[in-house]
Structures are given as C-alpha cells and as structure tokens.
Amino acid sequence: MRVYNFIYSVFYFVKQAFTKKHYQIIFYTPHHFNRGGNDENLFLKELLEICKQQRISYLYLEEPDLYSNQRRSRVAIPFDFFYYLVILLRKSMGSKISYIETDKKIGGFVKNIFFRRITFDNYIAISQSMLSFFSGISCDARKFDLQHGTIHARKESYLSDGLVSSNLKENDTYLLLSGVAYKELLTKNEKENYFQDHAEVIGTSMFSEYNVKPSEVNKNVLVSLQFTHDHSESENQQIALSLEKLLKKEPTFHFYLRNHPRFNNEIDLDRFLSFPNTSVISGVLQENFSTCRLHLTTYSTTVFEAALQGIPTCFLYSDSPKMNIFDLQYNYPFYKASLTEIFSNYSNFSLQVKDWANKFYQPLNKDSFLKALKNG
C-alpha cells in the first residue's frame, strides 16, 4: 500500500504539471488523523462538506506517517512522493540556514517543476504541517493552522515565554480555533499582540453533546493511554507506573485501556492486563463512552470530548509541567479529585465539566470559516 501511494502521488502530480488549475483551498494533513469510522479525517470532514455546498474548489492532500497504524483516506491525494523528497532535500541542504528558510527554498524548487500551473488562495494544515514548504510554493496564499488538539501558553509550537513560534510568525500563519477560551488563553499570555489578529474562532463539528442520565452511570473507566514516541522512555514509564498504582488502589472500578492512535508498543500493555479489573477497548470513541461513564488520562484531549458528553475525568499524577496543563492552563474544575470522589458526586461533576468544556469547544460556524478565508 505504501508503494501504491508513492507511485500514485508521482503520476498525479506529473499529470497536474501539464494542467492549469486554481484551487481556492489546499487542505493538508498527516494521515494519522484519519480516526473516523470510515477512515475519515473528522477535523476536515465538515469543512470539506462546506466547500462542496459553497462550490469552493479544493485539493485535499495527505502526508504519510510511518508510525501510524491508521488507514489512508479514501478521498485524499497521497503526498508521499513530495514528503520523502522534502526529507531528502532537507538533509542535502545542511543546516547553514533555518529549517523555515530551507523548506521555503525546497518549495520554490518544487514549484518550478510540479506546481508551475497549480495556484491556490488558502492553505489549511493540521499540526502546522509543511507551512514553510507551501509558503515557498506561494507566498501570497493565506496560511492556516487548523486546531486539532490542545493549545496553551507553554506549547512551544505556539507560544514560549510569551513569544510566538517562528514557524507561525515567519509564515504569517492564522489559527482556526475551536473556542473562545483558546483565543483568550493565547492573547493573555503573548507579548507580541500576534494572535489578536491572527486567530479566528470557527468552532468545531468534532464533538456532539450528550447528557448522561443517572441510570447510565457506572464504574467503568475509559483510560486514554498516551504511550507514544513523543515522550521519552522515562516519561512513558512514569505514566505507566502511575496507572499501575491506580489499578491496584481502585479494584471496584473496571478499567478499559484505549491506545493512542500513534501507539507503537512503547509500553507492554500486559503489565496492566494482569489485573483482573482491566481490559482493552477499541473502536469508535463515542461507542466507548456508551460503555464507560468515567474517564482517566494524563493529559489527553479526550478530556474535552468526554466533558462535552458530561463525563468527568480523573487525572493520573505527573510532576511534568507539560502533563499538568489541565490544571495549570485549562483550570479543570476538580483536577485532583479521585475516582471515588467523582463517582460519589457524579451529577454535580458532570454539569461542571460540560459548562467548562463549552468555552473551549463551540459548534462549527460556517460563516466564520468562510469569512476567515482569503477571497472568501
């Protein structure tokens, strides 16, 4: 399949080099975000539908991720050839100039061969992917970073000590945010007054609200695991040890372990499955919430998804500042509450988390999205 995607991307863009085409939007995303029931990218699904309804021309490109087990999109164009070409050219160009300037130069090179007849007004990426590369292809296009997870004042890809990341600033990138609380957090903590004019709240269609009925409350706990290569080995081990302690401490609760989408056997899960109150769960997250009425994690964005369902979260202990963001950055209402405390006060805690989450995640606003676009 990887070879097929590579070959397909070569032939597609060779053909495009001889066909003049203008797109109002280019969407670009790594394929590990394909987490929908039909291997869809749920962050883009409704935006693509808006484009179809409004007859907005777009090109949907997908970057490969060797660490991901997610399936490739059925509708996106594989960007595999250019992705590996960029990696190769980065290495050959050395480190005398910044990675941003390097990618811009590579983009200019690729433009002269493959993108001579392809133009676009807007570039919307997830995870800031290839911002500089596409800036090199078109410096006039408006660049966007579509929020896909948590954003906070200590996330270096956005803010560090009040300073906006160079990747955003040097590419004149706009943020498309899911809620006003995120924009307020950024503008209050920056020193450059960048996000006031470069952040648009468009909302999201990712999450649906649901009120948990008292009769549906149970002692099943969905555990959003975060064992990934993003963490050091010691960080993964710290999370694992914290989880083990809780499994021993709370034998009356049943824990359902859900792997992170980019889990690659960083931790052997058998160490947890030896406990009689522990199982593995997979499938669509919404179905998991039907099974489990409590949530446990270190700092996963699933906290927000659970909260919008009225499902409270208990947090695994960590002394890492980046893993305490729900306490230090987002002011989660009862961050240090135990599972027993949450279960005993479920109705009250359920209402609190819904009110809290609604400030961060608001319904997708089509008009706000269209207004943010260049020539929209």
- The residue count of the chain comes to 376
Categorize the per-residue pLDDT at 4 as very low, low, confident or very high, splitting at 50, 70 and 90: confident
Kindly tell me if the per-residue pLDDT of 51 is higher than 70: yes
- Minimal CA–CA distance to 127: which of 142, 149, 107? 149
Q: Which of 138-142, 208-212, 303-307 shows the lowest mean pLDDT across its residues?
A: 208-212
Range list for CATH 3.40.50.12580 in the chain: 214-357
Instruction: State the greatest distance between any 2 C-alpha atoms of the chain, in Å, as a whole number.
Output: 66
Q: How confident is the model at residue 206 (pLDDT cuts 50, 70, 90)?
A: confident
Q: Is the pLDDT of residue 264 over 60?
A: no
- The pLDDT assigned to 1 comes to 60
Query: Per-residue pLDDT for 209 more than 80?
Result: no
Question: Is the Cβ–Cβ distance between 360 and 304 less than 8 Å?
Answer: yes
DSSP string, 65-127: -TT--PPPPSSSEE-HHHHHHHHHHHHHHTTSS-HHHHHHHHHHHHHHHTSTTEEEEEEEEET
Helix (H, G, I), strand (E, B) or coil at 61: strand
* Residue of 36 and 289 predicted with greater confidence: 289
* Lowest mean pLDDT across 10-14, 147-151, 152-156, 224-228: 224-228
Looking at residues 16-22, what average pLDDT do you find?
86
What pLDDT was estimated at residue 274?
92
Query: 200 near 177, Cβ under 8 Å?
Result: yes
Q: Is the pLDDT reported for residue 45 higher than 60?
A: yes
CATH class, domain 214-357, is alpha beta
Query: Does pLDDT of 127 surpass 60?
Result: yes
Q: In terms of pLDDT, which residue wins out, 265 or 106? A: 106
If you average pLDDT over residues 37-56, what whole number do you get?
Answer: 93
Mean pLDDT, rounded, of the chain: 90
Percentage of the chain with pLDDT > 70? 95
**Residue among 247, 299, 253 nearest 273 (CA):** 247
What is the token pair recorded at 106? 């590579």
Per-residue pLDDT band at 239 (split at 50, 70, 90): confident
Q: How confident is the model at residue 121 (pLDDT cuts 50, 70, 90)?
A: very high
Residue 167: what pLDDT?
97
Backbone angles phi, psi at 366, to 5 degrees: -60, -45
What three-state secondary structure class fits 40? coil
- Give 177-192 pLDDT, tens digit per residue: 999 999 999 999 999 9
For range 281-286, the mean pLDDT: 85
Q: Residue 211: pLDDT band by 50, 70, 90 thresholds?
A: low
On whether the CB atoms of residues 312 and 334 are closer than 8 A, the answer is yes
pLDDT: which is higher, 244 or 322? 244
Has residue 337 got a pLDDT over 70?
A: yes
| pTM > 0.85 | no
Name which of 306, 305, 249 is nearest 278 in CA terms: 249
Domain 2-206+362-372, architecture per CATH: 3-Layer(aba) Sandwich (3.40)
